[in-house]
Amino acid sequence: MAVYAIYSYEIQEGNRSLFYKETGKKAIDMATEIISNLLHDGLTVVGKKRKEDILLTNLNYIGRDGVFVWELCNEKDKTLLEGHERNPVTEHPGCYVIVDNRPDVSQIAIEKNNAFGPDTDKVAKYLKRAFDAHLCEYGLKMVIKRKWQASNFKEIIRERIIKYNDSVKRVVWEFPNPDRVKGIDATLQMKERLQGLMLFTQAVNALKGKITLTGSKRIPINVDDDKIEDWAQIIALSAQNNYKLSYYFYNSSVVNFKDVAYAFASIDDRVIRDFERGQLADIGDGATFVLIEKLDEIRKQIADYDCEKIVDSRE
């Protein structure tokens, strides 16, 4: 199941107010239709490679009911070895991009994988530049915002478990090797515990290590830090040193401590494939696409994410 970063977008007037074609309507009032037309025509996205502009490839471009899905492909150089011979090749890994341009929605989901690196803001910047290149003809511009939640990390976890009756299926903690990372802010007791955890990490001279704890629906992981001192210490250590601590749930999106505030959601690849094939499902309110139901569910989950960071497309 892939993880997606969730963004919202707005179409704003620039320094001038223009009219849309021969309709006599202001362009800003036709923003949804303009975006839809741009997406139907296939968005031209330009990325960066060694600080040079490159035209990125769009694969499997599909638009249905105001929702558009495609794979945006990067360009990466690799070397294949045939015996001792090195053969340079170019590969084009992709990440899914979902633009929900239904009226009063304006939501973007960007798959978080290795195609463009771990920072999905890079893709958001490319998309903003692509849209703005066309929108400027109408005196408009796009503002993309990353939604985030300022609530306390522990409160978010407890809300998922108690309010939404969810449970933790996996916890992943990435920790440093104290021999190779200095300035670790931790208590002496926690440093001693770290030493015990990191013996193998130190033995192989790794920069960092990772612990993965897995539970089941019948016996979920207990992450009550009020009762388990080690949990409280790990959370404190992660907060003090900006280490990555991730909680994976059964029915809701992953929560990462390092970027806990940001909105993420999990979408099954099968849901994307069904949308591409035009496969409808009857979920109770008539036939619709499971992907659209999932996008509506995500909007509800992050409705109280009242903080936003504007994505700056400048390099």
Predicted confidence (pLDDT) per residue in 13-65, tens digit: 877 767 777 677 888 888 899 999 999 988 999 999 888 999 999 999 999 99
Dihedral sign for Cα 252, 253, 256, 257, please.
negative
pLDDT at residue 165 in the model: 86
Q: pLDDT at position 304, please?
A: 73
pLDDT reported for residue 295: 94
pLDDT of residue 177: 59
Which value, in Å, is the radius of gyration of the alpha carbons in the chain?
Answer: 23
β-strands 57-64, 52-55 pairing: unpaired
Phi and psi at 312, nearest 5°, equal -90, 120
What 8-state DSSP symbol labels residue 84? Answer: T
Structure tokens at 246: 């991730």
Q: What pLDDT is stored for residue 203 in this prediction?
A: 58
- Where the chain has pLDDT below 50, the residues are 180, 182
Sequence letter at residue 145: K
Q: Residue 305's pLDDT is what? A: 73
Q: What is d(CA 29, CA 31) in angstroms, rounded to the nearest whole number?
A: 6
Q: Kindly provide the residue ranges of all beta strands, DSSP E only, lying in 44-167, ordered along the sequence.
A: 46-49, 52-55, 57-64, 67-73, 76-82, 85-91, 94-100, 107-111, 140-148
Instruction: Select from 77, 72, 66, 58 the least CA-distant residue to 123.
Output: 72
